Amino acid sequence: MMFRLRSVNSCLRRLLHGGAVTRDQVLEQLQVCSAENHVFDVVGKNKAKLTVDHVNYAVRLLWQFQKERPEMLRTVDLIKSHQQFLTLRVLAENKIDLMDDFMLIDILYAFLRLNVEPQDSLIQQLVSEAWLRIDRFPMAALSKFAVCLNDQHLQHSPLMGRITSIVNERLPTIDDARILTALMISVSSLVSPQLRDALISRADHLLHTTDPSNYNIPRRMVQFLRNIKYIHRPLLERCNEIFLRNIPRLDAENLSIILGLYQSLQFNNCDFRLAAKQKLTELIDSSIDPFSFTKLFVALAPMATPEIRERLENTALLLADELNAQQALAVAEALEEIQSRNLSLMNKIASVIQRNLHLYKSVEVARITQALFLLQYQNPELFATLRNILIKFLEHSVFPYEVTMLTRVLSMLPCPRLEEAVVSRVDAVVEQCNLSELNTISFAVAKWVRNDQSYRHNTHSKYVRLLQTLNRCGHERLRTADRLDLLLDELKYVSGEWFEEMLLDETMITLQRMIDQINWTNVPELAFFLTRINHLSPPLMDRIASVTVEHIHKIHYSATYATLLPFSVLNYDPPQVDELYDACIKRFTPHLSSFDPHLLVLLAYSLAVADHFPEELIRAIFSIDFLGKLDSQLETLPDALNMRTRLRLMELNRAVCLECPEYQVPWFHERYCQQLHRKGSGSVSPVQQQIHKMLGEVLGGINCVQMAVVTPYFYTIDFECKLDKHLKPLSYIEPSTLQISDRGKVHWDTSSLENIRDELPTGAQRVAVDFLDSKYFCKNTHHMKGEALMRKRHLEILGYRVVQIPHFEWNSMELSTQDAWKEYLKKKIFR
């Protein structure tokens, strides 16, 4: 009995205290390693004893040491060249059969992170073994394996397709947001619309259970949306809330990543941009190494004040020689975005780029070329080198998107003649291109045609054949299109003469063929497209209106702006016009405080064009708090959007003052308008000069008509005349406020912009004569747009009788003689 007790006791001691019989001395040695050379010493001394567990532990430990260091201090190349690393690779390949599922994926992941090439036999053996086991993988292992495939650029492979299928089958069982988001990013290029919606729904559910301090989870969700080019505002807003809570913990790298993702998605959030700007400004003094400073520069420079921007450029100049190839590219693109004129910094960055040209991929060389060209950087030798590199990449490329991108950038660069190899490569892939790519190629061909002098003497040139192919492919793609969502995605950035002349009519026929596919999810995008191409289509717009009214509760409140835009801009009232505007106003009104300030201004202006002035919206915008927030936001926006928003605020202010005096909103844009007029001395077209001369003849003298008259609230009227109560012209005593040069340039007398008008005799009237060129009408019809009607309303409120001269009437065959033009003016003015 005592013997038995002693035996049990001895056994327990060995189990609990790791007695000599079960001790793993090699593992113990690995566990106390504190650096890579210690790991390699253990491996070198114990080659014959190393088990699969030892190999796995050693490889993962090597990656762990690297991961804990800043990127610039990592020594992956030294590790790869070490003799004992080769030992670990050989042992790992020989022991694959002994690895369990998690070990197999962990060791694959670590080797890839240590830059073992995907074509290495070890990696290929590990991937092959994983493929055999894939159906039994737990979701955690599957997620990590998917990341490994992405690292090897296998996101379109059959293997990733199988993972996508498994995700689709097992999605309801995934309860870990980290696992889900890794899978979402990995399979993003293969998801169907149904799986996309299911993944977003699952992500949204898990986001509510995620630790709010973990900002990596929502960041991956936003990355997924960026990858699939899909804006799901509810999910974006929830992710944004988590980012805002974590601003104190976010570093320059993470802030730069998030801002970049938002920019790609064209998602603006005022609160995040302001918070990020403040945090990045605080990080300037501590961002002194090339890695962190580059991230800071890229994120902060575009929204910094001129003083901060200058400080950043000075630091960049000091660090420029330490930048690697990728950092130099990032800085060059940021300099282009802010349109820097710091020649010393540009020279430094160009020098770093030039010595690293052999390291860049085709996309990166294209980005470099575009950035330097748009910066108007003068270095013919560098551009010639870049052009040669781009052509070599193009000659070997087989991907339509890559050929399109390289073609577009090549067309920016001056060249006397285009190489035949470029044209033949474009011709080889053009039939695989989508509409956006075809449109981009058409821009490039148009530039080549303009630059190639020989084209004028050769009507059957290579360019003509290429354009004919583009036309045929464009029409075929439209005729065979059967999914509205995919078509709208291709049309998102399509514009220009080629599209309007060759494909616009066919596009509208295709859209009307798909009219039954219009639903609440694609209504905003379709509405925005119609506005952008300036095309009035009553069938499509009636369908948009009916879908919107029926499903307004499903449409995101901020999407009401894009949805209403064509109706106000193109001045179209569908049968349900009142229900449409009422439904949209009721949808967005409870969320006024959630709108980005600039978007709320644009929304209110578009409603004003359509003669709608919701009181809550107007009072919200013209409050002190809102205007202060808008000012802060405008400092962070790109210059073009900043100026557009300021202009729209002025126009909204003017509209409210004129049309809704009961709101008692003050006119506070007097100085802004004066500055605008002083800056923008416009030009007078030959047609306007012709009308001016004829008005003088019709009215009995040039002193009876004034040109470019500035009204109260700063409308500029083409021509003004005064008629007494018997419709007899009255002459002007004061001289005109402007002079016109021989070239038709207007020179303002700035001292007269005080909106002082002489009194009219009793019964007399002021007549505003406006020439309406093509911008005031829809492209496909003579239907007048909303802004022209709003302008007419406002001038009438200011006391004018408004005479509008449409360009198509003035330039018609009926008015082809001096007498006909004069008779036309008489009828318009003296009716």
Measure Cα distances from 140 to 329, 571, 762 in Å. Answer: 36, 55, 87
Q: Mind giving me the DSSP string for 271-334?
A: HHHHHHHHHHHHTTTT--SHHHHHHHHHHHGGGS-HHHHHHHHHHHHHHGGG--HHHHHHHHHH
Question: What range does the domain containing 73 cover?
Answer: 23-136
637: CB partners within 8 A, 6+ apart: 268, 303, 598, 645
Measure Cα distances from 222 to 199, 238, 249, 255 in Å. Answer: 12, 10, 18, 13
Number of H helices, E strands in the chain: 42, 7
| 43-66 CB burial, b ≥16 within 10 A, e <16 | beebeeebebbbbbbbbbbbbebb
Q: Residue 788 falls within a domain, yes or no? A: yes
Q: How many Å apart are CA 415 and CA 430, to the nearest integer?
A: 22
60 Cα distance to chain centroid: 39
Half-sphere CA count of 197, side-chain side, radius 13 A: 3
312-317 own/partner pairs: CB under 8 Å, 24+ apart: 312/284, 313/340, 313/342, 313/345, 315/284, 316/345, 316/349, 317/342, 317/344, 317/345, 317/348
Q: What is the structure's pLDDT at 463?
A: 81
How many domains are contained in the chain? 3
Determine the residue type at 577.
V
Of the candidates 440, 448, 453, 490, which has an alpha carbon nearest to the alpha carbon of residue 465? 448
Q: Residue 491 falls within a domain, yes or no? A: no
Measure Cα distances from 192 to 150, 154, 187, 259, 526 in Å. Answer: 18, 18, 10, 27, 21
452: CB partners within 8 A, 6+ apart: 416, 417, 418, 463
Q: Which two tokens stand for residue 796?
A: 């009438």
Determine the residue type at 665.
V
The CA-CA-CA angle for residues 341, 342, 348, to 5°, reads: 130
Helices within 210-269 (DSSP H only): 216-227, 233-245, 252-265
Q: What is the structure's pLDDT at 69?
A: 85
Domain end residue (candidates: 103, 136, 169): 136
Helix axes 597-609, 577-588, angle to 10 degrees: 160
Q: Write a three-state SS string for 426-488.
A: HHHHHHHCCHHHHHHHHHHHHHHHHHCHHHHHCCCCHHHHHHHHHHHHHHHHHHHCCCHHHHH
Of the candidates 319, 323, 269, 370, which has an alpha carbon nearest to the alpha carbon of residue 594? 269
Q: Residue 66 falls within a domain, yes or no? A: yes
- Three-state DSSP at 801 gives strand
Q: What is the structure's pLDDT at 733?
A: 75
Q: What is the structure's pLDDT at 1?
A: 44
Give the chain's length. 831
Q: What is the structure's pLDDT at 740?
A: 47
pLDDT in tens, 35-62: 999 999 999 999 889 999 999 999 999 9
Q: What is the structure's pLDDT at 751?
A: 42
Q: Residue 371 falls within a domain, yes or no? A: yes
Scan for tokens 């919701």, then name that residue: 614
Q: Residue 569 falls within a domain, yes or no? A: no
- Three-state DSSP at 721 gives strand
Q: Mind giving me the DSSP string for 609-634?
A: HTT---HHHHHHHTSHHHHHHHHHHH
| 261-296 CB burial, b ≥16 within 10 A, e <16 | bbeebebbbbbbbbbbbebbbebbeebeebbbbbbb
Residues 167, 160 contacting (CB under 8 angstroms): no
Q: How many Å apart are CA 149 and CA 114, to the nearest integer?
A: 15
Q: Residue 706 falls within a domain, yes or no? A: yes
499: DSSP letter: I
Q: What is the structure's pLDDT at 4?
A: 44
- Three-state DSSP at 752 gives helix
148 burial class (0-12, 13-18, 19+ CB within 10 angstroms)? Answer: buried
Domain end residue (candidates: 136, 157, 184): 136
- Three-state DSSP at 740 gives strand
Measure Cα distances from 727 to 162, 442, 723, 825, 828 in Å. Answer: 82, 54, 5, 14, 12
- Regions in the chain scoring below 50 on pLDDT: 1-21, 459-460, 735, 737-753
Q: What is the structure's pLDDT at 16?
A: 41
Ramachandran class of 303: left when φ > 0, alpha when ψ lies in -120 to 50, beta otherwise: alpha
Phi (first) and psi of residue 268, to 5 degrees: -105, 135
Q: What is the structure's pLDDT at 755?
A: 52
Domain end residue (candidates: 335, 351, 375): 375
Q: Residue 581 falls within a domain, yes or no? A: no
Q: Which two tokens stand for residue 732?
A: 């002007």
Q: Write a three-state SS string for 675-692.
A: HHHHHCCCECCHHHHHHH
Residues 427, 473 contacting (CB under 8 angstroms): no
Q: Residue 460 falls within a domain, yes or no? A: no
Say if pTM beats, i.e. exceeds, 0.75.
yes
pLDDT in tens, 341-389: 999 999 999 999 999 999 999 999 999 999 999 999 999 999 999 999 9
Question: What's the start-to-end Cα distance of the chain, in Å?
Answer: 128
14: CB partners within 8 A, 6+ apart: 21, 22
Q: What is the structure's pLDDT at 15?
A: 40
Q: How many Å apart are CA 705 and CA 729, to the nearest integer?
A: 9
* Strand 716-723 to 765-772 pairing: antiparallel
